[in-house]
Amino acid sequence: MDFIAPKPLALSVALIGVAMPAVAQEACGGLGANGQWIGGNESASDITTSDNYREQMALVLSGNQYVSLFSVSAPTAVRIEAAGRGAGDPLIDVIDPDGNIILSDDDSGGNSAARAEVELDPGTYCMSLSSFDGAPMTAFVRIGRPEQEPLTEGVSVTSNTGSEDIMPVNEDGSCRDATALGALSGALTATASVDTTPYWSFTLETPTAVSITASNEDADPVVTLYDADENYITENDDYDGLNSRIDQSEPLAAGDYCVQVAALNDTSLPIDLEITEYDPDAALAALYDRGEVAPPLDGSVAIENLGTLENRLRKDAQISTSATWYSIDLSQGGLLLVEAIAAGSDGDPWVAVFDDLGRQVAMNDDYGDGLDSLVTARVNSGTYLVAVKQVGGSSQGLIRMVFERYIPAP
């Protein structure tokens, strides 16, 4: 027997805070269908030609996301920022025209604000805004060029070196006060605190795409990449928990490069740095593992099919920090509710729901006053993927999941 929503209003309330469909239905792999142009319309959202930055106020509720659409008509350096009001802690993903996550950031704007600066090729892009802890949030979103007024201070203003000038390049092209790691061949690894070694350098003998990882959640590292001509390339704060990672999928030219490692929490703690050649298959597998991108339904990733959800289904499973994937089939549209409850005292579940095209329709970490998770989403008939994982200090534990389907009253 199907559950009947008592009033049509029940579906509407669950969707407050979700950006309603706009133009560019195919932008960002379909994510743009739920987005709003940052400039109010398509023509005013071209950051390359805009006379000033573009800004929106975003409302995020119930673990949903807000999507801003923008475009660049020529290769352009773009600054993307989000600052929450009150205790809001925004998390941003920048999505390319094909739906791939270019970068993510949580705190690089300073004071829990998110900030990213990136060089973009012509095309239509999306910025997905969510709340880091899943709590309701109101935030301001600003997208512009580096010479236009920023929304946030940026972590560089309070650099751990005590200097406002963080460009780690000397006039002769060498990295200032950097420890040389040598030429990239296999993997370059090192461990040091920010207090002892804030700068590192490495060499590419041939054009190479690279991945740079800085790990120690207690330190909360931030990693920034420059070339030897003083050009800022990219940076990252929170990629996997509080650890940081840069995936430079486009090959960098042969030459010398500088890496700055900062710490937002404790500059005296050791941070593990690793520089490797970018592996697209490994990068994609890591996205599946974190539940950030839905895997294909071709058997290449383990997905447990729970069958057709008629009304209510309960599932208990041992869940680790790597996402466990489930699929469910809905024969009729309505409201989908997924709840994940920790059976033990130290569990902290996280849940995300995707449609069969890989678009995230809902995500939540902490619901209410506890660490359990709850998502609701208006859905059509079809197949949906659900990712469940543990976050925080939990490595594994029993999680009880409930899947419920509600259909509109006739």
Does the structure show a pLDDT above 80 at 54? yes
Under the banding of pLDDT at 50, 70 and 90, the label for residue 208 is very high
Q: Smallest Cα–Cα separation from 362: which of 322, 394, 403? A: 403
Q: Which residue has the higher pLDDT, 25 or 219?
A: 219
Contact 377, 361 (CB under 8 A): yes
Contact 157, 91 (CB under 8 A): no
How are the residues of the chain apportioned to helix, strand and coil, as percentages rounded to the nearest 5? 10, 50, 40
Contacts of 46 (CB under 8 A, 6+ apart): 39, 70, 71, 72, 73
Q: Smallest Cα–Cα separation from 78: which of 42, 49, 101, 99? A: 49
In a domain, 334, yes or no: yes
Over residues 134-183, the pLDDT tens digits come to 777 788 999 999 999 999 887 643 333 333 344 556 666 567 778 999 99
Does the structure show a pLDDT above 50 at 18? no
Compute the distance between CA of residue 407 and CA of residue 410 in angstroms, rounded to an integer. Answer: 9
Q: Are residues 123 and 180 in the same domain?
A: no
Q: Are residues 218 and 298 in the same domain?
A: no
Contact 138, 254 (CB under 8 A): no
Percent of the chain with pLDDT over 90: 41
Q: Which of 18-27, 81-90, 113-122, 310-319 has the lowest mean pLDDT?
A: 18-27
Percent of the chain with pLDDT over 70: 86
Compute the distance between CA of residue 313 and CA of residue 211 in angstroms, rounded to an integer. Answer: 41
Domain termination site, one of 228, 249, 278: 278
Q: Are residues 163 and 150 in the same domain?
A: no
Under the banding of pLDDT at 50, 70 and 90, the label for residue 287 is confident
Under the banding of pLDDT at 50, 70 and 90, the label for residue 57 is confident
Does the structure show a pLDDT above 70 at 7? no
Domain coverage including residue 126: 3-155
Q: Which of 11-25, 114-128, 195-209, 325-339 has the lowest mean pLDDT?
A: 11-25
Over residues 227-261, the pLDDT tens digits come to 877 678 888 887 777 889 999 888 999 999 999 99
What average pLDDT does range 25-34 have in this prediction? 77
Q: Are residues 199 and 225 in the same domain?
A: yes
**Please, how many CA atoms are within 13 Å of residue 81, restricted to the half-sphere of its CB?**
25
Compute the distance between CA of residue 358 and CA of residue 292 in angstroms, rounded to an integer. Answer: 10
Does the structure show a pLDDT above 60 at 15? no
Does the structure show a pLDDT above 90 at 11? no
Q: Are residues 8 and 76 in the same domain?
A: yes
Compute the distance between CA of residue 66 and CA of residue 387 in angstroms, rounded to an integer. Answer: 20
Q: Are residues 55 and 181 in the same domain?
A: no
Tell me what pLDDT residue 10 has.
29
In a domain, 286, yes or no: no
Q: Which of 8-17, 44-53, 144-153 has the lowest mean pLDDT?
A: 8-17
In a domain, 47, yes or no: yes
What average pLDDT does range 256-281 have in this prediction? 92
Does the structure show a pLDDT above 50 at 6? no
For 287, phi then psi, to 5°, come to -65, -40
Compute the distance between CA of residue 201 and CA of residue 184 in angstroms, rounded to an integer. Answer: 10
Q: Are residues 231 and 118 in the same domain?
A: no
Tell me what pLDDT residue 394 has.
55
Compute the distance between CA of residue 320 and CA of residue 323 in angstroms, rounded to an integer. Answer: 7
In a domain, 190, yes or no: yes
Compute the distance between CA of residue 48 and CA of residue 102 in angstroms, rounded to an integer. Answer: 19
Tell me what pLDDT residue 16 has.
32
Q: Are residues 91 and 103 in the same domain?
A: yes
Q: Are residues 128 and 184 in the same domain?
A: no
Tell me what pLDDT residue 357 has.
87
Neighbours of 9 (CB within 10 A): 9
- Calculate the average pLDDT of the chain: 83
Q: Which residue has the higher pLDDT, 356 or 384?
A: 384
Over residues 183-202, the pLDDT tens digits come to 998 899 999 999 999 999 99
What average pLDDT does range 283-287 have in this prediction? 87
What is residue 93's three-state secondary structure?
Answer: strand
For 247, phi then psi, to 5°, come to -110, 100
Q: Are residues 210 and 80 in the same domain?
A: no
**Please, how many CA atoms are within 13 Å of residue 334, restricted to the half-sphere of its CB?**
22
| pTM reported for the whole predicted model | 0.56
Tell me what pLDDT residue 345 has.
67
Domain termination site, one of 155, 190, 223: 155
Tell me what pLDDT residue 292 has.
85
What is residue 12's three-state secondary structure?
Answer: helix
Compute the distance between CA of residue 101 and CA of residue 95 in angstroms, rounded to an integer. Answer: 5
Q: How many domains does the chain have?
A: 3
State whether the Cα torsion 133-137-140-141 is positive or negative. positive
Q: Which residue has the higher pLDDT, 97 or 273?
A: 273
In a domain, 283, yes or no: no
CATH number of the structural domain spanning residue 227? 2.60.120.380
In a domain, 329, yes or no: yes
Q: Which of 5-9, 206-210, 346-350 has the lowest mean pLDDT?
A: 5-9
Compute the distance between CA of residue 233 and CA of residue 212 in angstroms, rounded to an integer. Answer: 13
Tell me what pLDDT residue 103 has.
83
Compute the distance between CA of residue 80 and CA of residue 122 in angstroms, rounded to an integer. Answer: 16
In a domain, 284, yes or no: no
Q: Are residues 12 and 112 in the same domain?
A: yes
Tell me what pLDDT residue 45 has.
93
Q: Are residues 224 and 114 in the same domain?
A: no
| H helix or E strand, kind and range, residue 127 | strand 123-131
Tell me what pLDDT residue 4 has.
36
Domain termination site, one of 120, 155, 190: 155
